[in-house]
Structure formats: structure tokens, C-alpha cells
Amino acid sequence: MYALAVVEADSVGRAERYLRQAAAAGHAPACYALGYRAFRRSEYREAIRWWTEAARAGHQIAYEALEALRADLQDDTDRG
């Protein structure tokens, strides 16, 4: 499913559906990709959700992205 999502990248609806199917099967890169898509839409809670799943599965980039996002959100909270 993840490979199909990559091929269907120009078709957002299908790519998202394939990523969700792969993520449901525990595919860490798919979880990371869903988190990245959510981050790009400024849906930070959703990004945290997916990146946490990917990080729990051992995806190092997701772990780093999660830590960076949490730090940025904390900085925004501290300033506000």
C-alpha cells in the first residue's frame, strides 16, 4: 500500500487512502508520511499522532520530527 501511495502521490485522495491502509498495518514510513502531510496542513495534533506511531515503531526521522514539533509548540506557548 505504501508503494501505491508513492506512485499515486499526484492523486491526493488515493495516496492518502493507501497511506492510511499501510499505517493501519503498522508501516512506520506510512505513519511518518501521514504525519508530514498533517504538518504541512498545520494540523499539529494529527502530525503528533502519526509521528508518535512511527517513532514507536522505530522510525528515527519521525522521532526527530516529533521532538522538533513539540519544542516549537512549547516555544510558542511560552511566548504567548
Q: What is the pLDDT of residues 7-49, one digit of tens each?
A: 666 666 788 888 999 999 999 999 999 999 999 999 999 999 9
Concatenate the DSSP letters of all residues of 24-74 into one string: HTT-HHHHHHHHHHHHHTT-HHHHHHHHHHHHHTT-HHHHHHHHHHHHHHH
pTM: 0.84
Name the band, by pLDDT with cuts 50, 70 and 90, for residue 4: confident
Lookup: cell for 21: 491502509
- Of 9, 52, 4, the C-alpha closest to 31 is 52
CA-based torsion, 65, 66, 68, 69: positive or negative: positive
Task: State yes or no: pLDDT of 6 exceeds 80.
Answer: no
